[in-house]
Structure 1
Amino acid sequence: MIRIGLLGAARIADQAIIQPAALRNDVVIAAVAASNLEKAQAFAQQFGIEHAFGSYDELIARDDIDLIYNALPPSLHAKWSIRALLHGKHVLCEKPFAMDAEEAKAMVAAADASGRLLIEAYHYRFHPVFAEVERLVKSGELGTIHTVRSNFSVRIAETPGSLRHNAPLGGGALMDLGCYPLHWLRTLFGGTPEILWADAICPKPQLDSSFELRLQFPNGPLCYVGCAMSEHLSRHHDASLYLEGDKGQLEVLNLVAPHQGHKLCLTKNGEAHEYQINGDTTYDHQLAHVIACIKGETKPLTGGQDAIDQMQLIDDAYKAAGLLPRGLCK
């Protein structure tokens, strides 16, 4: 039985790990730690978690916890992931991995030194829909892919204490939303893309509510990337990817959360074929992957050098748009 401890009484924890764990017989959510004991106890009572702690140190010091789920703000990912690793815990860390590439390097070094796993929670990565996109790209069915358009936008209202609207905590549209299409593209095409152009709209200093990028992958496609969390947007998200090759085109709607409804449209020789791929929730697939990695049955698809390169691209994107990497916004 793999015993999971939650760092942070975060809303995302319910769908991201509590619900998936409840469907398995080889894991249990054993404890939660929050910024104060009352908050932790309320969360534990709501979700039927046995132990609650008012400090993060208390949780990671326990010998009866195997895996830490770090859902704290990005500004706390490095500190507490590293401490958990050094206490012998595996860590599933929410995206974005860190505040910048330097923090990411320190986190990966700690994982290597501890011999424990540090996996980044890009949950889409583990779903069969993305596996199908990978298959189509790598099989050559689309031919040489020359143009890609990607977007993740949804209205995120600013509320008191909202970390997404607080740059020193790791907020911003690129950190919260744009990281997804950037990760799609890096996973599909490999290498480090050249940033040809970048721009952001900032309603307050250093806080991007929308972000646009134009990237060129080495011997690969020209990619347009957009993300936004502005107030004028719909509360229904747009997470779309369009790949144009010389033999065919592929459009994917809702690549972030395909279990909530998705569509793939493959067009070849002027004929369009729409279809779907069966699967559980992205979070179910993510937890299954993490457990398989802990058991030594497979290798992690995220974390390690991938996480460092992802944060470096985000850092470089902020710089290209005339903004500070989040690590310098503290």
Structure 2
Amino acid sequence: MKQSINWGVLGDAGIAKKAVIPAIKRANNANILAISSQKGAPKQTAVEFNIPKAYSSYEELLTDPEIDAVYIPLPNALHKKWVVEAALNGKHILCEKPAALNSKEAEEMLAVCDQQGVKFMEAFMYQFHPQHTRVKEIINSGEIGTVKQMNSAFTYLLDLTAKNIRLNAQLGGGSLYDVGCYCIHSILSILEMEPLSVYCRGNIDEESQVDLTVQGTMTFPDQVIATFSSSLEQYPVNQYEVIGTKGKIIITQAFRPDKQGGEGKLIVVTQDGTREENFVADQYRAQIEHFSNAILKEENLNESNQHTLKNMRVMDACFRSLCEKKSVEVL
């Protein structure tokens, strides 16, 4: 039986070099076999990370019979095209978030993957850190009572004068696509519900026409409310809190604990006092091992794919709300 998955990477993007390629090399069931770039320097990256093969086009990599799975860190607007191409070439796909520009694109991508018998997963690496499993355990224990609200924020400071794909509307730039998707994903995952409606307000840059900041409110069944904030122009924050009738849980490094050596901190506040729980994990490695294992064991990833679709539908509603400047239903 095959023991490991051979990976290829489409594009030598920063996130690939800083996080995902090193994670593949750390994983116990994965090998990095090839990298390709149509604009960058694949040979230089191949030498830097000791990658056996370097291709000057994505097509060359996708037709390599030795490659089992590909990681796609391309700009958001290119995800659909290259996910479809990878699927048609029989490659399993780990695609950077957000999976697509809208839910229609995501549905079409997943349909092709299903038709071609390949696995697809959206690269929300944060979910593989054990702190989130612990949050659900505490909620289910009843310690913080009935959950009434969740607040999530992911913000950072981007150089708004530099050339950056995050400031390119045609490539799917903006804070909602870049970091707001994490906030929404975490809310749906922790609450295990879908919102009925959303209302968003934002700061749209006049020159680039991308959203620099978005603040949103979601209404859920049972009078549960969630808020989120995403920004490319605010002091760095990546946390969420879950508030119940008896207490609350705060995750201080919700999405990028890897920037703190993989350490996540969970704070529980109730009438009985405050306590902290610390967790250390390699979330990028865990993501690679999870997906590689799903391929090796032919596991069903339908639940993950359904979460991708739900997340995109909420994001669709957020963009409609920003445009219409009113609360809209999640379709």
Please report the TM-score for the alignment, with normalisation by the length of structure 2. 0.90
Aligned to 2:31: 28
Aligned to 2:17: 14
Question: Does residue 240 of structure 1 match 2:243?
Answer: no
Aligned residues: 318
Q: Distance in 2 between matches of 1:52 and 1:323?
A: 46
Aligned to 2:293: 292
Question: Structure 1: which 5+ runs fail to align?
Answer: 325-330
Written as runs of structure 1 = structure 2, the 5 A alignment for 1:33-182 is 33-36=36-39, 39-158=41-160, 160-182=162-184
Q: Distance in 1 between matches of 2:21 and 2:69?
A: 13
> C-alpha offsets along residues 64-92 of structure 1, whole Å, 9 cap, x if unaligned?
10010000001111110111111111000
Report the Cα offset of residue 290 of structure 1: 0.8
Aligned to 1:318: 319
Q: Secondary structure at the match of 2:184?
A: helix
8 Å CA contact retained: 1:15, 1:283: no
Q: Distance in 2 between matches of 1:183 and 1:156?
A: 22
Percentage of pairs with the same residue: 30
Written as runs of structure 1 = structure 2, the 5 A alignment for 1:201-216 is 201-204=203-206, 206-216=209-219
Report the Cα offset of residue 190 of structure 1: 2.8
Please report the TM-score for the alignment, with normalisation by the length of structure 1. 0.91
Q: Distance in 2 between matches of 1:130 and 1:110?
A: 31
8 Å CA contact retained: 2:215, 2:229: yes
Which structure features the higher share of strand residues? Answer: 2
Q: Distance in 2 between matches of 1:106 and 1:194?
A: 24
Aligned to 2:328: none
Task: Name the stretch that deviates more: 252-261 or 180-189.
Answer: 252-261
Q: Distance in 2 between matches of 1:47 and 1:158?
A: 31
Task: Name the stretch that deviates more: 118-127 or 159-168.
Answer: 159-168
Report the Cα offset of residue 216 of structure 1: 1.0
- The 1:124–1:103 alpha-carbon spacing in structure 2 relative to 1, beyond 3 Å, is same
Q: Distance in 2 between matches of 1:12 and 1:301?
A: 26
RMSD: 1.9
Q: Secondary structure at the match of 1:191?
A: coil
**Aligned partner of 2:242: which letter?**
L
Moved over 3 A (4+): 158-161, 297-303
Question: Structure 2: which 5+ runs fail to align?
Answer: 326-331
